[in-house]
Chain A
Amino acid sequence: MKKVLFFVSFLLFASLLLLAAASVHPFGEPTETAMDDYFIANSQREIAANNACTAIVFDYRGFDTLGEATVLYAAVVGVLVAFRTLRKEER
C-alpha cells in the first residue's frame, strides 16, 4: 500500500517537473540580460581581467565565494573529525 502511494506521488511530481522544464524560455534566448550585458561590457575596464566569469566570481560577487570557502572548510573539518573518532574506538 505504501509503495503504491509512493509510486503515484512520484509520477505526479515527475510529470509536473517535465511540464515546467518544457515551458521555460525557448532554448537560446534568455529574457533578462541587463546585468550580464553590463558585466561583459565593463569587466575589462574596471577589473582589467580578460575572463568575465572569474571577474564575477572573485570581484563582483566575491561575498558568495567567501561563503563557499567557508562551506568547503566546514566539510573538510567534519570529515577529519569523523575519522579521528573512528580510529580512537579501535584501540
Chain B
Amino acid sequence: MNSDYRMSVVVRTITRLTYGLIIVFGFYVIMHGHLTPGGGFQGGAVVSSAFALLLVAFGSAGLKGRVNRHWFQTLEEVGAIFFLALGLFGIGTAFFFNLFANNPGVPFGQSVPFGPNSGAVSTAGTLPWMNWAVGLKVLTGLTSVVIAMLIGGRKEERE
C-alpha cells in the first residue's frame, strides 16, 4: 500500500460531518454514568473511537491541526492523579469515602428518593467526578496507543 493511498470521497465527507457528534455523545455517556448505563470506561472508549475514525479516514494528516500528541500524554497523568486525589478527600473516615453524598450544600450532593424515578444529574457525591477522571484517562490513553501504533510502526520517518 503506497503512501498516497486515499479513502474515497464518501468516507471522508461522512467523517468530517460525524466525528464531532461522536465526541459529544461520548461526553454524554461519561457525564450521566450514575443515572443511565455507562460511566467513565465506556464513554472514554467511545470518544477514542472518534479519533480512531479520523485516523482511518485521513491518515496521519487528519490529526495535524486537531490533536497534539504530547498534550495527550500529559492529560492521562492528570486524570490518574485526579482519581487518586478524589479517593483521599474523605481520609478522615476511610479511603474512598463518599464525602459529598446526601449533603445539600456541595455541587453533587442531592438525595434520591427510594424506588423508580426520573434521575436528577446533581446527585451521587463523588461519583460524577470519578467518572470524569477515569473517562479522561481512558480517552487519552487509548488515543495515544492508536497513534503510537500507526506512526511508530511505519518504516519511513513521518511527523
Query: Which residues 52-75 of A sit at the B interface, judged by CB distance below 8 A?
Result: 53-55, 57-59, 62-63, 65-66, 69, 72-73
Give the Cβ gap from B21 to chain A, nearest Cβ, in Å. 24
Give the Cβ gap from A73 to chain B, nearest Cβ, in Å. 6
Find B127's partner among A59, A86, A87, A90 (CB 8 Å cutoff).
A59
Instruction: Please determine whether A62 and B117 come into contact, CB atoms closer than 8 angstroms.
Output: no
Number of interface residues of A (CB under 8 A): 30
Instruction: Please determine whether A44 and B112 come into contact, CB atoms closer than 8 angstroms.
Output: yes
Known: A49-B112, A50-B112, A86-B153. 10 other contacts (CB 8 A): A47-B127, A48-B102, A48-B109, A49-B127, A51-B35, A51-B37, A59-B126, A69-B134, A72-B138, A76-B141
Q: Decide if B20 is an interface residue (CB 8 Å cutoff).
A: no
Give the Cβ gap from B1 to chain A, nearest Cβ, in Å. 19
Interface hit among B7-15, B51-59, B144-152: B144-152
List A residues at the B interface (Cβ < 8 Å): 44-51, 53-55, 57-59, 62-63, 65-66, 69, 72-73, 76, 79-80, 83-84, 86-87, 90-91
Chain A residues within an 8 Å CB radius of B19: none
Query: Which residues 36-66 of B sit at the A interface, judged by CB distance below 8 A?
Result: 36-37, 39
* Complex: chain B residue closest to A59, CB-CB: B98
What interface size band does chain B fall in?
35 or more
Chain A residues within an 8 Å CB radius of B87: 62, 66
Per-residue contact bits, chain B 52-90, to A (CB 8 Å; 1 contact, 0 not): 000000000000000000000100100010011001000
Instruction: Please determine whether A51 and B134 come into contact, CB atoms closer than 8 angstroms.
Output: no
